[in-house]
Amino acid sequence: MSDTQPAFSLTDLAGKAHDFPTGRPSLICFVKEDCETCNTAAPVLDAFNKAYGSEIDVLLIAQSGDENATFAARHSLSMPVLDDTSCKIAFAWDIESVPSVFWTDAKGQAKTTFEGFIRADWEALSADISDQTGQPAAQIDWESLPAWRPGCGSKHLDPAIYDKLKAEAEDSPIRARKIDIASSDDEAEFMFDQGFSDGLPLVPPTPERVMRMLAGTHRDPQELVATVPPNMGEATVEKIAINAVMAGCKPEYLPVVIAAVEAVCTDAFNIHGVTATTMGAAPVMIVNGPIRAQIGMNAGLGALGAGNRANATIGRALRLVVRNVGGASTGGVERSTMGNPMKFTMCFAENEERSPWEPLHVERGFKAEDSVVTVFAMTSGPTLIVDQTSRTPDAISGSLGRGLEGVFLPTFRNLPVDAVLVVCPEHLDTLTRDGMYSKQQLRDRIQEVTAGTGGEVKSDGALRQDAKPGAATGTGVTPASGQNPKFASTDYIHIVVAGSDAGKFSSAFHGWATGEVGSISVSKKIDLG
């Protein structure tokens, strides 16, 4: 073999610097104090140094910090023991286990390498060095040594150490500007002061954490995912990963966050308008497909609330990207009159397994086996709809319809506004008893029960008397003369299933302006490679 090993400069136990290549043939061995096999190899290496040291350089590169001196004293080592506690040289040389031996020429080109302790390899190496130097072979009782003993994993392969080294390497995928924090500064307080936070503490996005996060996707860290309004910041995979770290995500959540960023930054969704409106709109994310179970998302008990890391942090990561990359900070472009708790996070999974209905993503044209995120612009919710007494599909569906009358204002009718109805399993069981209700039948029923008289209001809040009866219902149900349903079309009523099996409590999210003047819901397939 003829690979030239990376150059280095390390200090020995006395503080003297040693450079590699040395200008002479060199025997380099990586060791650590608590490795039994390294302790087996140490006396052999010392014998090599005594026999061949006049012609070659024997250098031990040790990874054990203060214990390096213990290792040297234990074996009365005569060769330099160099400190690689940071493991930067082990990383640069790409070793996997210790002891790792490299026999190189004067220019640093490796001629022989091996790991662990195989007696035949060490004997052959001694004979080779003896031949090349003309020195008598090292005096070693080979028969007293084990024929074979495996090595130990190099210290730098510990994930916490490796990720940091990878992040600091010359070929690191990380390109974001690094901010140095004084040792006396509190990291959490610093991030608050810099305006990175949504008001809650953040996880510091150290290089090693960002590296681990990037491992959650196959996509290039510098790939441009989206341009984020209002500042038109460039959301690369790396920048999304940084915000996912701050939000508390696991690496396996990253593909969902990326897909959500792609979705909200479309012209159709209009994240600029969603963020800037004084109505206080916020993205609501619904996740479908196999990824729900793969990353542990909650579609059951408490799905719309706290307690699940995936739900909470995925939604929060999206909001942090919009804030930190797009510049949509509260009091700046974000001008919500009252604010909205969904601006912290709102993300949940549909309980597909509990429902006989087509899941949301299949309704929207995807395959059942696809993993998909759908985003809606919602102004309020989840609003509880309670019906603990109804026992028939018509009665439950009527209650759900009445529960949606509060969108904007009960007297508003024919609204071209999205609503998301989250049906709980107990209500679902009543609705679908004997195959009674499909999703479309439920939508039609909602339109039917909300078809009140009049239905529009003037600017002073008084009921208008000139409302057009039955205008733009789009329901398939013909309301009685003089009546107007709640929504301009059933297309504005989106239905999913979530929640626990106990409790007759469904929920609804009320939408913002829908269509070209506002926001259109968007679904994106999650890229899992």
pLDDT digits (tens, 9 = 90+) for 50-99: 999 999 999 999 999 999 999 999 999 999 999 999 999 999 999 999 99
**DSSP summary character for residue 14:** T
Q: How far apart are CA 242 and CA 521, in angstroms?
A: 26
Closest CA to 39 of 77, 13, 66: 77
Q: Other CB atoms closer than 10 Å to residue 224's CB: what's the count?
A: 11
Average the pLDDT over each of 3-7, 116-120, 375-379 and give the range with the smallest value.
3-7
pLDDT at 182: 84
Closest CA to 51 of 122, 158, 136: 136
Closest CA to 381 of 495, 258, 282: 282
The 10s digit of each residue's pLDDT in 176-205 is 777 888 888 899 999 999 999 999 999 999
Q: Which amino acid belongs to residue 389?
A: T
21 preceded by a cis bond (ω within 30 of 0) = yes
249 CB-near residues (< 8 Å, 6+ apart): 213, 257, 313, 314, 317
First to last CA, the chain: 36
pLDDT at 153: 94
Instruction: Say if CB 104 and CB 5 are below 8 A apart.
Output: yes
The 10s digit of each residue's pLDDT in 404-438 is 999 999 888 899 999 999 999 999 999 998 888 99
- Tell me which long-range contacts 10-15 makes (C-beta under 8 A, separation of at least 24): 10/61, 10/82, 10/83, 10/84, 10/89, 11/82, 11/83, 12/80, 12/81, 12/82, 12/83, 13/68, 13/69, 13/72, 13/80, 13/81, 13/83
Does residue 471 carry a pLDDT above 50? no
In whole angstroms, how far apart are CA 109 and each of 17, 22, 97, 127, 438? 21, 12, 20, 19, 72
pLDDT at 170: 60
**Helix, strand or coil for residue 454?**
coil
Q: How far apart are CA 98 and CA 113, in angstroms?
A: 12
Return the domain boundaries, the chain.
8-157, 172-360
pLDDT at 495: 98
pLDDT at 162: 83
> Which of 2.170.150.70, 3.40.190.10, 3.30.1490.100, 3.40.30.10 is the CATH number of 8-157?
3.40.30.10
The 10s digit of each residue's pLDDT in 62-74 is 999 999 999 999 9
Tokens of 515: 């269509």
Closest CA to 278 of 337, 328, 329: 337
In whole angstroms, how far apart are CA 247 and each of 93, 210, 242, 294, 320? 35, 12, 9, 19, 7
359 preceded by a cis bond (ω within 30 of 0) = no
Closest CA to 338 of 282, 407, 264: 282
The 10s digit of each residue's pLDDT in 269-326 is 999 999 999 999 999 999 999 999 999 999 999 999 999 999 999 999 999 999 999 9
Tell me which residue has tokens 């998302």. Answer: 297
pLDDT at 171: 64
Q: Tell me what the mean pLDDT of segment 88-113 comes to.
A: 95
Q: How far apart are CA 188 and CA 168, in angstroms?
A: 23
Q: How far apart are CA 247 and CA 317, in angstroms?
A: 5
Closest CA to 110 of 121, 102, 120, 118: 102
Tell me which residue has tokens 């380099």. Answer: 28
Confidence of residue 497 (pLDDT cuts 50, 70, 90): very high
